[in-house]
Amino acid sequence: MRTFPDGFLWGAATSAHQTEGNNTASDFWALENRPGGFLPDRSGDACDSYHRWPEDLDIVQSLGLNAYRFSIEWARIEPVEGHISRAELAHYRRIIEGCLERSLTPVVTLHHFTTPLWFQKAGGWTSPEATERFRRYVRAVLPILDGVEWVCTINEPNMLAMMANMVKAEKREENVAGAMPPPDQAIADALITAHRAAREELTSFKAGWTVANQNFEPVDGADAECREWAWSREDQFLDVAADDDFIGVQAYTRVLIGRDGALPVPADARRTLIGWEFHPAALGNAVRHTADRIPGVPILITENGIATADDAERAEYTDAALTGLHEAIEDGIDVRGYLHWSLLDNYEWGTYAPTFGLVAVDRTTFTRTVKPSARHLGDLATGRTAL
């Protein structure tokens, strides 16, 4: 029987835009609702978690999990530049208190892909004022974080910087992040600066950011090409975390790198709903790579999961991923917790088709249905089932 360290966090993750619904002041809402836009679905009411968050927390608690990751939506807190909504701050404070009342450790993300529309119109991350605008938002949130230990400043900055080029081209990529074109380096640099500014404000918390780990693997002797490919898309963002309180690892699959760059998923490979290779070993490999890159920085698994319509496959993937994670822990890597993506089937940035959730959500009634994979994860977390 594999046992995890005392105090290990077992939980599930969500983000505000993907679950709350009607995030009308955000840049992504504007993108979704642009006439003739390139995204197949609009977020709309999403999972209505803005109103149903107590039910979501009750589900997490009922499974025997002890942690919940969610994001605070900047576009709600500051819908107009300089106007801080006390009502919205109180809304997120109630969620934090709801976690604490249920003995759930809140893992709070301050930025999960979306920004206020005014921020984007004012130049976005490359505006000279961007860092101080983000710092102002972080300062506004600080008073509601009482009782919070873990704070993620920015979710997947490497994806944000790569998505910038995708949005400019009005093209929705189906590839994993690691097979996409390199990030917009000006945006990458701006995000690094904003992260460091946020860290200066978050001295009372365990603060870090999360990185989309792509498990780059060289083939046919392309080791040098693989290192170069990985630096811009992943490693430069890991390096920034060398002095942080933790690093969030988010891993789903791998990317094979040849002499000319990323290779297609092998024709005979098992695939997920969105065409990614079924590769649960990605999690353990990502943890090892991260630990090698920034030794001594505690690791928190802030996302790991699979898009599948077969819930038994979700449990199979999770078991294999956790086995690799446990082996990394046994080898001495400091891993503090595992937060599954996602608690709910939700809006996956343009479409509702990929189902990552431990819980199904009826698109009309918003009824939550707990899947067997959720109960399986809870049983692993509580020791009712051995890994």
- DSSP SS3 for 153: strand
Are the beta carbons of 337 and 26 closer than 8 angstroms?
no
Alpha helices in 63-184 (DSSP H): 74-77, 86-101, 117-121, 130-141, 157-168
Q: Hey, which residues are catalytic here?
A: 303
What is the C-alpha end-to-end distance of the chain, expressed in Å?
Answer: 6
Are the beta carbons of 158 and 232 closer than 8 angstroms?
no
What's the token pair of residue 280? Answer: 């649960």
Over the range 180-200, which residues count as b (16 or more CB within 10 Å of their CB) and which as e?
beebbeebbebbbebbebbbe
What's the token pair of residue 263? Answer: 């290779």
What count of Cα atoms within 13 Å lies in the side-chain half-sphere of residue 377? Answer: 36
What's the token pair of residue 89? Answer: 């701050």
What is the amino acid identity at position 369?
A: T
